[in-house]
Homo-oligomer: A and B are copies of this chain.
């Protein structure tokens, strides 16, 4: 880690001065200024995820501000840990700050990162702070502990499984909800022991795309979703009013909802954990493809139209 570079000292000292002291009680050993951070987990194995956010793609710095960027950057990583039913513990942050405004952007970014991290007891144990002539880039790596009962994979869904999501979907871009993820860490930890999910994923690319990954990786399975059961976010309805695209398609395709989607054996689908809102939206079936069942019982194929970093995103 190169937080040591001399000219960054003003910013880095400011960041460090605002962070709580970390020590053995927090699972942190050694000095924070060393070349590596030293941390200790309470589990024999560790889970790790990384996500990079770039100005103009995942946020718009001039419109959203650096704090929103930091908040989202930590949140999307937490959402990946939620999809494993894990406990997040430690994060590192690497950042390329736009030079013209590096200190102010760095301070705002740090405030957003910490606000989200604090919510889940995550300690930021190290980082790399750079400035350049390019746009803001922030990369978070999040480490944690797997659930003692095991992590649901993406590949364990079976024919007949019930499909659930943890909240309403669609339209996350229209009012900036994509900047305010609500990582379902606590929900996942409540779901894991009660419902024993066969597969789980977080909805970042969109339900059609993310559920599609579960179905593909579970051996080329398919799904039938009940149109009336798919929870549609108010933002998706607003968006539909504006663009004329049916709200259900926004719910299926928009992405960045950061809710969980998971499958459970049908006999466990009625045992629901307390205090968690769940929507049972359909069933895993043999043969590939996702179909939507309307009120009249007719099945319509659902195309996958999730987020694609390698093409322009139509809506952004």
List chain A positions with a Cβ less than 8 A from chain B: 1-2, 4-8, 11, 29-31, 33-41, 44-52, 54, 56-57, 76, 80-81, 83-84, 86, 90, 92-96, 99, 102, 125-135, 137, 139, 141, 143-144, 146, 151, 153-155, 200-202, 204-205, 209-210, 213, 217, 304, 306-311
Contacts and interface: CB of A to CB of B under 8 A. Distances in A.
Contacts of A56: 132-134
Nearest to A260: B35
Contact of A204 (B2, B57, B81, B202): B2
Contacts of A36: 47-49, 80-81, 83-84, 86, 144, 151
Contacts of A200: 35
Contact of A52 (B38, B76, B96, B133): B96
A233 B6 CA distance: 24
Closest 5 CB pairs of A and B: A7-B310, A7-B308, A52-B94, A139-B139, A35-B83
A31 B154 contact: yes
A47 B213 CA distance: 33
Contact of A130 (B6, B7, B309): B309
